Homo-oligomer: A and B are copies of this chain.
Amino acid sequence: MKFSRQRQQILDYVKSVKTHPTAETVYKKVRDDNPNISLGTVYRNLDKLSEEGLITRIKIANQKDRFDGDVIPHSHAICEKCGKVIDIYTCNLDSIDKFVENNIQCKVLSHDIIFNVICPKCNKDGEE
């Protein structure tokens, strides 16, 4: 894979943050360094980089896709109040895939799971 200046900037940015940015956010941030970059290029690169396994795409139903520089397998929770995405590393769901395989006689390739939560901060705010 060629590493154009744009591709490198996009990869560096996604790898440098823990905020799970959307394509639009990546675009705005990379534009600080490279004002000529186009949104189409950002989309094409985020596609390519996640296909190649250098970053992870987080697909959340009815929301913009987000991207994660962390490629270690893990799940995500999203706060329904503030929208923050929270990493969940310790929840191993492999056994559930096995269960489903036996249950519906299907080969399970993967699963997409998102936990809809209220984060500690928003929970506290709600109590006031």
Contacts and interface: CB of A to CB of B under 8 A. Distances in A.
Interface of A: 59-62, 65, 77, 79-80, 86, 88, 90-91, 93, 96-97, 99-100, 103-120, 123
Contact of A117 (B90, B93, B100, B115): B100
A-side binding surface: helix, strand, loop or mixed? mixed
Given A65-B62, A96-B91, A96-B93, A86 B114 contact: no
13 contacts: A59-B62, A61-B61, A77-B106, A80-B109, A88-B103, A91-B99, A91-B100, A106-B118, A106-B120, A108-B116, A112-B112, A113-B113, A113-B114
Given A59-B62, A96-B91, A106 B80 contact: no
